[in-house]
Chains A and B, each alone.
Chain A
Amino acid sequence: MDLLSKLLAEKDWLMADGATGTNLFNRGLEAGEAPELWNVDQPAKIKALYQDAVDSGSDIFLTNSFGGTAARLKLHNAQDRVRELNKVAAALGREVADKAGRPVVVAGSVGPTGEIFEPLGPLSHAEAVEMFEEQGAALMEGGADVLWLETISAPEEYKAAAEAFANINAPWVGTMSFDTAGRTMMGMTSTSMVEMAQGLDNRPLGFGANCGVGASDLLRTIRGFKAANPEIPIVAKGNAGIPKFVHGHIHYDGTPELMGKYAVMVRNSGAKIIGGCCGTMPEHLVAMRKALEETPMGAAPTDEEITSVLGGFSSKSDGTGDEPAPVRIRRRRK
């Protein structure tokens, strides 16, 4: 049995990690540079990133391989280094996890290709499967316990990754980003994601939401998942608030204290794997772990509780169709 399945069976909840990008920029990554190149060029800094997550109490951390598909690496003319860069990303993680003194899951991060699928865009299903397979195989070869698909918008892309991971027998988790009026950019709702994930031949070990807008929106998405009674565990990785431009530099408005409250609320709403995304630093993770350990399980928060603690929603509805979306009447309906 893979380590994640084992931990999921043993524990009521697991804590994942925080931001990769935000933390690497703080360590001197130049904007425009591919973070994945650092796996080879700056391995000590990548290990320090992983170590921070372990030291902050994470049960799971994601590898520095988000942009590790050939499609993304191509932007840096590194499309021929998929195997090398991903394998090292996972191997560095393995080293850190094996020295943690407790079970820590190395999750091989796989991000979107950034391409739009046929027929609307140029990417074919077969090409997508091939790219995900290439990246996934390298991450597993490097020692990842599971693969971790994240920030996906298109259902086609989620399905292509599931197929690729089945081809290499890799256990996996997959989350999408709900950032447009409660849905993903491509229009998928929380409820329809549950249906899709559970309908796959190669079901993920966990599914859920990451990134997106703010913690409030993410909580609403988690509630949408829960309402559909999923059989597989829910993952929540929300941003540490919303980025603000203050005196010439950028600052996320989510304090560690607030992220601690977010963690408890999201667990009460039904999430079993809880972490952060952009802007989530080690101090946020420490506060989240503490809050999760010290606060007993409670009732799911209401809309009012969510907005009063974490701030307002970015859109009126979460797009799941409790109130049907207005339909424009056309002369000839498709």
Chain B
Amino acid sequence: MSDEEDDLILDELSDEELVLQMHDDLYDGMADEIYEAVNILLKRDWVPYDVLTKALVEGMRIVGIDFRDGILFVPEVLLAAGAMKRGMKILKPLLIESGAPQLGKMVIGTVKGDIHDIGKNLVAMMMEGAGFEVIDLGINNPVEDYIDALKRENADILGMSALLTTTMPYMKIVIDTMIEQGIRDDYIVLVGGAPLNEEFGKAIGSDAYCRDAAVAVETAKEFMARKHNQL
């Protein structure tokens, strides 16, 4: 009840309890509480990278699972991502300063001919919420725009989205151009959108088809981990 809520003093929790509380507060989209808890952990000499991964990213992972399973819907996920972003505001400069490993950088946009951006926006928000850096190219992107941005931003991941059955084949053009330029294997290529499926993702030469925003985040993490292991 509300009394209990008022009584909960974050700073009195042990580290372990506080992290669990943060997972819950992310789940409930409580941005002020996340902001406060991030500061408390930092004051307790946690390194920024641990705050990011153990508290925030782990909390968003749980949100992602329940979104995937149809327990949470877009409004709740947006609230959670908003709370995560509040925490990231504190952490981002510290992470850069400390030279902590970056989760990864993604260039994302809907393909040429496609103006439907709700799904893409959702993936961008969830990826940011999970701690990735996202360069959003918006809608209707020709192959040059994708490739320029990948190079300019020194990105790790390319995300392409299409809602229309008429525009999804353009993804293959982008990937084929990357192959021609000899840069295909420098990037993780993820594709998504309502009419796509796994078979299509394979057929055009992407690394993976992602069914929804939560799957996109999990897949990106998995591929980034593999990439780090190769280095």
Interface on A for B, CB 8 Å cutoff?
21, 25, 30-32, 34, 67, 72, 75-76, 114, 116, 120-121, 153, 179-183, 185-187, 243, 245, 248-250, 315, 317, 319, 325-328, 330-332, 334
- Residues in B whose Cβ lies below 8 Å from that of A180: 70, 73-74
Interface on B for A, CB 8 Å cutoff?
4-5, 8, 20-21, 24-25, 27-28, 30, 62, 66, 69-76, 78-79, 82, 112-118, 121, 139-140, 164-170, 194-197, 199-200, 203
Interface centre among A114, A245, A317, A325 (most CB of B within 10 A): A245
Give the residue of B20, B62, B140, B196 whose beta carbon is less than 8 angstroms from that of A32: B140
Q: Is the CB of A186 within 8 A of B75?
A: yes
- Residues in B whose Cβ lies below 8 Å from that of A21: 164
Q: Known: A319-B70, A325-B70, A332-B4. Contact between A31 and B166, CB under 8 A?
A: yes
In the assembled complex, the Cα of A334 lies from the Cα of B76 at a distance in Å of 12
CB-nearest residue of chain B relative to A34?
A: B115
Give the distance to chain A from B189, nearest Cβ to Cβ, in Å: 17
- Residues in A whose Cβ lies below 8 Å from that of B28: 330, 332, 334
Give the distance to chain B from A65, nearest Cβ to Cβ, in Å: 15
- Residues in A whose Cβ lies below 8 Å from that of B113: 30-32
Q: Is the CB of A32 within 8 A of B114?
A: yes
In the assembled complex, the Cα of A327 lies from the Cα of B24 at a distance in Å of 12
A-B contacts at CB below 8 angstroms, number: 97
Q: Known: A32-B112, A32-B167, A245-B200. Contact between A332 and B70, CB under 8 A?
A: no
Q: Is the CB of B114 within 8 A of A120?
A: no
Q: Is the CB of B62 within 8 A of A328?
A: yes
Give the distance to chain B from A111, nearest Cβ to Cβ, in Å: 11
Q: Main SS of the interface on chain A?
A: loop
CB-nearest residue of chain A relative to B82?
A: A120
Give the distance to chain B from A284, nearest Cβ to Cβ, in Å: 16
CB-nearest residue of chain B relative to A279?
A: B165
Q: Is the CB of A32 within 8 A of B79?
A: no
In the assembled complex, the Cα of A153 lies from the Cα of B45 at a distance in Å of 44
Q: Is the CB of B70 within 8 A of A114?
A: no
Can you list 28 A-B pairs with a CB-CB distance of less than 8 A?
A21-B164, A31-B164, A31-B166, A32-B112, A32-B113, A67-B115, A72-B115, A114-B116, A114-B117, A180-B70, A182-B70, A183-B73, A187-B72, A187-B75, A245-B165, A245-B168, A245-B196, A245-B197, A249-B169, A250-B195, A317-B70, A319-B70, A326-B69, A328-B27, A331-B24, A332-B8, A334-B28, A334-B30
Q: Which 7 A-B pairs have the closest CB atoms?
A: A181-B70, A187-B73, A31-B113, A250-B165, A32-B113, A330-B24, A243-B195
Give the distance to chain B from A256, nearest Cβ to Cβ, in Å: 19
Q: Known: A114-B117, A180-B70, A328-B27. Contact between A245 and B199, CB under 8 A?
A: yes
Q: Known: A114-B118, A332-B21. Contact between A25 and B70, CB under 8 A?
A: no
In the assembled complex, the Cα of A180 lies from the Cα of B68 at a distance in Å of 10
Further pairs besides A25-B166, A32-B140, A332-B21: 4, Cβ < 8 Å: A116-B78, A250-B168, A325-B70, A328-B66
- Residues in A whose Cβ lies below 8 Å from that of B75: 120, 186-187
CB-nearest residue of chain A relative to B212?
A: A180
Give the residue of B4, B74, B121 whose beta carbon is less than 8 angstroms from that of A187: B74
